[in-house]
Structure 1
Amino acid sequence: MPHDITRLHHVGHVVSDMAQALALYRRLGFHVSPPSVPALAPREGASPDPFGAANTHADLSRSFIELVTPVKAGSTAGLPPDTRIVPLQAPPEKLPMLLSRIEATSAQLGGWCDRFEGLHILMFSSPDVDGAADRLIAAGVDHDGVNTIGRPVETPNGIRTELVRYLEIEGAPEGRVGVVADLDLEFQHTRHLDHPNGAQDLVEAVLCVAEGQLPLVRERFERYLGRPISAEAPITLMTKADLPDLLPGEDPSALPALVACTVTVPDIARVRALLEENGLPVRETGRGEPYVPASAALGAALIFRET
């Protein structure tokens, strides 16, 4: 029977300074577009002010890494000059609800960033998000139901709207955890996949938990995935005591924490040379894979795996 959760859709790296994060990810060898931020005019005839959250993606073949930062109303602090301001457009009767959601998201991001800068968003990919929603409820996993949002996408024929269907699991202590419908193939040609480091796909998230919590967390994620966690699963679970076996020198400041993610590349030697040329420290995991430590990557270790 096919699984309704197959792989990672994206992870979200929450940062306090988007300009700094963009510079880091470009040094890591990713093509990252300028971020966008919603904006709303404070009064009729005034220019729209940014607020809520700014974000951008490092697109991969079937997944992406999201960079996201909370934005104070009317402030562009920490945003690069080429940030795209996206005025909100919504029917008047829906605007209060939209504003409330954006403000709640910004407050949540700010709380996560205060806890620690790093990975706080973990979204799995599904070919059948409605089936996954039903299975999760049957397994006793509460979620907010399947939502649909429109994402503006630049295409050769102008701006088009990509529909994104997703659900968020309630009560996940590591951050925002959920399920998203597989990326729409119709929009694949709009994604930037020509990364200098050759990155192809996001294949693993590493979650570190407190001593004694591993059995409970494993059981919870097995209910999320609908199957036992194996070496091929998109999530790796470990305690803080075992973390040095995989990531020597890593010491998360709070638990539970998404401490690292893994991307695949075709040429590890090329990646090592690029990282060293860009002045980034490179360590080796217990599996023999190079990684950039969290201390040099805004709180989230990045592992490279050769395909």
Structure 2
Amino acid sequence: MVFATRDAEQTAIRLDQAGVRHGGARALQRPVTTAEGTELAPIKFLEISDDDPAAPPNMVPEGRVGAAEDAPHELLDAQTGLAHPNGATGLTECVLCVGDSDLQAAGERYERYLGLPASLDRSTSSFTLDSSRLTLTTPDGLAALLPGERPLTAPGISAYTVEVADLAAAEAHLRAQNVEFGRSADGRPFIPAKAAFGTALVFQQSQETA
């Protein structure tokens, strides 16, 4: 799970001040394809480490978590080849499931990681991140959000949500491909984890095209 940051170096400083262990901001490259061809764009990336020095390097209990400073916006906006038959336009939510007794501690960890307060609601703890969201919940909380779902592992990412340009068209695409899907507690279609390689996939209508 990688969070976007405008400045990886500043994020590293903030994490230091919050007492969060990390591997430091590293310069990397990623391929970006535009009408002019493919080029390697410079990015910066850091990974958060567990508070326990004996834990695997660059790993927290739920796996690899980090922050990335992406390529320049003008280059990202010029990308080609991003269209998908289901109309997906972006990732808007990750749902992280933790043990029943671990929700408060996990919420406090992510408050330190993100520098943001959590919003609490029954068995969930959520963080609003510009146009996306991180939701922490328990196995029972996951089942309440997505009926029939149980986490493959806890802690771990149990579901994620993508926005689509046309929700009705996305549902029609799933039906045409004979893809099994259910309904979330708030009525959104989702592909169960058992049919989506272990992590449920939720679809919602993009607000920009609604």
Alignment of 1:165-244 (within 5 A): 165-171=44-50, 172-188=60-76, 189-230=78-119, 232-233=128-129, 234-244=133-143
**Pairwise CA distance, 1:256:** 0.4
- The equivalent residue for 1:20 is none
1:18-63 Cα offsets, whole Å, 9 max, x none, are xxxxxxxxxxxxxxxxxxxxxxxxxxxxxxxxxxxxxxxxxxxxxx
Unaligned runs of 5+ in 2: 51-59, 120-125
Within 1, Cα distance between the matches of 2:171 and 2:38? 37
Q: Relative to structure 1, is the Cα distance of residues 200 and 183 closer, same or farther in structure 2, using a 3 angstrom cutoff? A: farther
Q: Does structure 1 residue 259 correspond to structure 2 residue 158?
A: yes
**Pairwise CA distance, 1:184:** 2.3
Within 2, Cα distance between the matches of 1:267 and 1:160? 31
- The equivalent residue for 2:123 is none
State whether residues 167 and 203 of structure 2, in contact with CA within 8 Å, keep that contact through their aligned partners in structure 1. yes
Letter in 2 for 1:260: A
**Pairwise CA distance, 1:128:** 1.9
**Pairwise CA distance, 1:197:** 1.5
Q: Relative to structure 1, is the Cα distance of residues 224 and 191 closer, same or farther in structure 2, using a 3 angstrom cutoff? A: farther
Q: 1:270 aligns with which of 155, 169, 174?
A: 169
Unaligned runs of 5+ in 1: 1-121
1:276-302 Cα offsets, whole Å, 9 max, x none, are 110111111112111001100111111
**Pairwise CA distance, 1:190:** 2.7
Within 2, Cα distance between the matches of 1:286 and 1:159? 42
Alignment of 1:1-307 (within 5 A): 122-171=1-50, 172-188=60-76, 189-230=78-119, 232-233=128-129, 234-307=133-206
Within 1, Cα distance between the matches of 2:201 and 2:84? 15
Aligned residues: 186
162-171 vs 245-254, greater mean Cα deviation: 245-254
1:163-201 Cα offsets, whole Å, 9 max, x none, are 120100012111110000144224322342322221111
278-287 vs 247-256, greater mean Cα deviation: 247-256
Please, what TM-score do these two structures have when normalized by structure 2?
0.83
Please, what TM-score do these two structures have when normalized by structure 1?
0.58
Local SS of the residue matching 2:170: helix
Within 1, Cα distance between the matches of 2:80 and 2:17? 36
Within 1, Cα distance between the matches of 2:185 and 2:104? 22
Local SS of the residue matching 1:142: coil
1:104-150 Cα offsets, whole Å, 9 max, x none, are xxxxxxxxxxxxxxxxxx00001122111101110011100000112
Q: Relative to structure 1, is the Cα distance of residues 191 and 228 closer, same or farther in structure 2, using a 3 angstrom cutoff? A: farther
Within 2, Cα distance between the matches of 1:162 and 1:138? 29
1:231-276 Cα offsets, whole Å, 9 max, x none, are 5342101011221110111122321010111111132111111101
Local SS of the residue matching 1:217: helix
Within 2, Cα distance between the matches of 1:284 and 1:274? 16
Determine what percentage of the aligned residue pairs are the same residue. Answer: 41
Q: Relative to structure 1, is the Cα distance of residues 186 and 246 closer, same or farther in structure 2, using a 3 angstrom cutoff? A: same
**Pairwise CA distance, 1:152:** 3.7
